[in-house]
Amino acid sequence: MAKSTDDRKERTRRIIRLLKGAYPDAKCTLNHSNAFELLIATILSAQCTDDRVNIVTADLFRKYRKAQDYLKVSPTELQKDIRTTGFFRNKAKSIQGTAKVLTEQYSGRVPETIEELLELPGVARKTANVVLGNAFGVTSGIVVDTHVTRLSRRLALTTQKQPEKIERDLIELVHRKDWVIFSHLLIAHGRKICKARNPLCAECVIEKLCPSSFLKTGVLPGS
């Protein structure tokens, strides 16, 4: 397997091309109808599946339509409304803290720069990148979640473990125009084929480009 940065860039380009062919509809799977809803859904998605978040937000977004609405209820009431997404006390705190800043400083709107988003309570790079890339079409970085972490490491696009460091490596390899779609592609592939426990290497469209393939190593790749 070639090791130079140029070779890795070329391999990454080919991986993206094949994944685009396999997942032509890859996109954000958190239901939302505006940037604010996407921000709330992304906060809720920490340590939770998108399917579960979508079940919760179907009711949540009917009850809370704008930032001010989250400030009209007690923390306990909001915790109850988001309970099944897990870590509900911290998430309720982040949502109400974020709603307060948006109401007081941005007239209820979601800011469109990464610096401003990172100032919001409970909003880290992953959430900021999701909102900017998917609600505003701004390529601020690459979303690194559990699937992107696992696949990037298996594909030897990074050796890092921390999301910020993984993102730094990926930004070097992925063309900027593909930063947003790249995460959606890896997430789609991670859910369907390159699963955490039992990756289906024999069915994988990028198997030839993957140094961790079970077919080459005879060893199931780690997570």
Interface contacts to ligand SF4, rule CB under 6 A: 154-155, 193-194, 199-201, 204, 206-207, 210, 212-214, 221
CA–CA gap between residue 61 and residue 64 (Å, rounded)? 5
Query: Of the listed 66, 69, 93, 145, which one is catalytic?
Result: 145
Q: Judging by beta carbons within 10 Å of its beta carbon (0-12, 13-18, 19+), is residue 138 exposed, middle or buried?
A: middle
Token pair in block for residue 25: 């509809």
Nearer to ligand SF4 by Cβ, of 138 and 205: the residue is: 205
Active site residue 6: no
Task: Give least dist CB 46 to ligand SF4, A.
Answer: 24
* Contact indicator for 174, 182 with CB cutoff of 8 Å: yes
Nearer to ligand SF4 by Cβ, of 135 and 206: the residue is: 206
Nearer to ligand SF4 by Cβ, of 20 and 52: the residue is: 20
CA–CA gap between residue 136 and residue 102 (Å, rounded)? 17
Give the DSSP letter string of 79-147: HHHHGGGS-HHHHHHHHHHHHHHHHHHHTTPPPSSHHHHHTSTT--HHHHHHHHHHHS---------HH
Nearer to ligand SF4 by Cβ, of 85 and 152: the residue is: 152
Nearer to ligand SF4 by Cβ, of 142 and 194: the residue is: 194
* Contact indicator for 211, 156 with CB cutoff of 8 Å: yes
Task: Give least dist CB 187 to ligand SF4, A.
Answer: 13
CA–CA gap between residue 80 and residue 53 (Å, rounded)? 14
Active site residue 145: yes
Query: Of the listed 50, 81, 91, 126, which one is catalytic?
Result: 126
Q: Could you tell me which of 103, 102, 90 has the C-alpha nearest to residue 48?
A: 90
Q: Could you tell me which of 212, 88, 193 has the C-alpha nearest to residue 155?
A: 212
User: Which residues are known catalytic residues?
Assistant: 126, 145
